[in-house]
Structures are given as structure tokens and as C-alpha cells.
Amino acid sequence: MRTTRRTLTAAAGLLLLFAATVPASAQPPERGVYEISAGAQERVARAGVDVLGVRDGTLTVVASPAEVASLRAEGLDLRPVGDVDRVLAERNPDRRAAPGDFPAGDEGYHTYAEVTAELRQAAQDHGDVTALSSVGESFEGRALHLVKISDHVERDEAEPEVLFTCNQHAREHLTTEMCLHIVQRFTDSYGHDPVVTQFVDSREIYVIPTVNPDGAEYDIAGGRYQGWRKNRQGEGTDLNRNWGHRWGCCGGSSGHEGSETYRGTAAFSAPETKAVADFVDSRVVGGTQQITGHIDFHSYSELVLWPYGHTTDDVGEGMTPDQAQRLRSVGEEMAAANGYTPQQSSDLYVTDGDINDWMWGRHRILSFTFEMYPADGPGLDGFYPPDEQIRPQTERNDAAVDILLREAGADRA
Ligand SMILES: [Zn+2]
């Protein structure tokens, strides 16, 4: 791992050197930020371009010159908003940090080493209700940490289980903080806060704070943000297009390795998704899946999304009308609690191979995606809110998290 890190740092250094010696030209930017008006979701998703956010039907995307040309050839109106590297430079003017750390001013965010230290500390301070292990390793060999929080934590009790996953997408660092906040809240407040105590006593809470540690570390290597989304296997796989339910079925991912929504060579070709899926599969005890509720945290757009993503049908296959209604009503209740906008995942744009579709399609787990703060932003900037936002934006989801924990104990429709 140490060797890998040195290599990454060296590569980032070379990139910076290269950027410094090539003068800016009139060429379109290598990665440009564009806005596209309503009605284009399907064609944009099909093209495999990187959708940063959606607001009132307007998409903000990152596209290469070739992608821009092909979308314009289809008649879409792409309005340039900025150049990715310029936007990132403006986000961090002269705020270099030590290699491997967040840019100066954003030290409130946790690097992988800091996440690891926080989790070890929680397990040490609250060993009665906290156990730290891992579901496996990332492509570059980092442990994919798993925290279990419950009374009698060493035993597998007959209690409803709930899973929280964060940071499938590398640059969505605020989500890692969300999972850390969940860990801290349900450990520090156990025995003090009656709501927390009741859930810890009656549920088994699992948290995976970073599903994509390689990508997250790469995103901050070199002391400035890279705007990186995928994992670090080859040119990178979009982990949230690599899950095995209707993988690659429906034009909601890309088969091109360079694309930001590259689905990988096969379902679960990424070691990160495979490890998390194997863990979830392992929670089938006596023929019954123990995990009944799940939230996967992303940023940004302030949305609560429910399955399916691969079809615009409100009631997809493997789902009764009552079950579809339950996904919707729990999603709407959580959105009322945190002020996000609720909708079925495919109302945004069609995705295939995403985590919610697999959680429901394979295991009938009540599974949601939260797209966190901000509601919108000027392109890539939305991924990098100042660290002052960590506390308010993670606490903002406490009530919604509690709703999911409550629902996880309800009888299944
Ligand atoms: Zn994401």
C-alpha cells in the first residue's frame, strides 16, 4: 500500500508538471462543465457522460470534446458553464496541502487514515456496543471498513439489521462524513439519548463509511481536488453501475472504459462492490435476509431516491404495488424530515447496475439513495462544500436515519 501511494503521488506530480508546461489554448477544455435543458435525461444517460446534478430538469454534466460533439449532433443544446480544471483551481487557489491530505482549509474532512483512526477509537471507547471489521479490500488493498453497532455486539441476535453505505463515488467526501457521523452518534449518545439507546438495543446497525477508499485518496492526492468519481481499477469503474441486478440492461451506464459511468467488464468486476455484496449475501440467515433497511449516501442535489433506477415503471418486476407504495411513502417521509426532494430514481435519469436496484431486486431490502447538500452548484464545486458544512449537513439527516431504523423493524409489506 505504501508503494502504491508513492506511485499515486508521483503520478499526480507529473500531471501537475505537465499542466504547468502546456500553455492554455483556445481548444475546448479536456473536461468541460455544461448545462443541458429539460427533457434530455435519457439521451444524456445513454451517452455515458458524467451527470453532476439535476435541478428542475436542467442537467449539469462534465463532458469531453467528443461527447459534446456527439450530443450536439443529436440536437441537444449544451451551454458551457466552465472548464473543470479551472473550476477546481478556483475552488482551491493556492491552498495546497501536504500530499495525501485535504486542501488547506478543508482539514475537517477525514482522509482514509483519519477515518481508520476514528473508527478504531470508537470501537475502543465503546467496545460494549461497537465492533470494527471489514468486508474485504479495495483494488489497491485498503480495508473496506465495516462497523457494527448493537447491544451484545459480539452476538448475532434476532434483531432487524440496517446498513448504511457511503462514498461509492470518490469525490463525494461529504458522504464519508455522514457515515462517520452515524457511527459517532450511535456510539457516543448510547445510554444518554433515549432514541439512540432504543435503536442500538433493538437493531443491528452496520456502517461502511467508504466503499471507494482508493478513489477518495486519489481525489485528494497532490493537495488539490481532482474531481474523480470512479474506483482505481484500470481507467476506473463507476461502482454504482457495477451491481448485479439487470447490470448494463437499459442504457443507464457505459461500456466504454473511459466513460465516467463505465459499468465494468461484468457485474461485480470491481472488488469493492463484490465485497459489499458478499457481506449483504452473508446476512441471509435461515433463508431470510436480516438486513431490512439501507441508505446509500451520495452528493449532490438534495434528493431522496428509491428503486428502481433501470426502469421508469412505478411498479417494477419483483415488486408488488404495495411494496412500490411503501418505498415511495417511506422515501417521502424521510424527505419531509430533511427537506430533500423525493422521487423514484429513474425520474432523475435511467441508471442500471446501481446499488438500490440490487438491494431490492436481489434481497427486497428497503433501499434508498440520499443525494446530499448542496441542492445545486456551479458544476464540480458542489462536490466540495467547505468543511463548516459537515456538521449541519450530517445532523440534518438524523431524523431521516431514525425513520429508516424504525421502518426496518416494521413487518414487510
Ligand atoms: Zn454519487
Identity of the residue numbered 62: V
Tell me which CATH code domain 112-408 carries: 3.40.630.10
Q: How far is the CA of 24 from the centre of ligand 1 (A)?
A: 30
Q: How far is the CA of 350 from the centre of ligand 1 (A)?
A: 14
- pLDDT by residue (tens digit) across 274-290? 999 999 999 999 999 99
pLDDT number for residue 59: 85
pLDDT band at 176 (very low <50, low <70, confident <90, very high): very high
Domain coordinates of the chain in residue numbers?
A: 112-408
Which of 204, 260, 272, 371 does the annotation list as catalytic? 371
Q: How far is the CA of 371 from the centre of ligand 1 (A)?
A: 7
Backbone torsions φ then ψ of 389, nearest 5 degrees: -80, -15
Backbone torsions φ then ψ of 227, nearest 5 degrees: 70, 30
Q: How far is the CA of 239 from the centre of ligand 1 (A)?
A: 9
Using an 8 Å Cβ cutoff, are 164 and 295 in contact? yes
Q: How far is the CA of 263 from the centre of ligand 1 (A)?
A: 14
- pLDDT by residue (tens digit) across 123-163? 999 999 999 999 999 999 999 999 999 999 999 999 999 99
How many Cβ atoms from other residues are within 10 Å of residue 163's Cβ? Answer: 26
- pLDDT by residue (tens digit) across 90-123? 766 556 667 778 988 899 999 999 999 999 999 9
pLDDT number for residue 89: 72
Is 217 tagged catalytic? no
Q: Which residues of 185-217 are buried (b: 16+ CB within 10 A; e: fewer)?
A: bbbeebeeeeebbebbebbbbbbbbbbbbbbbb
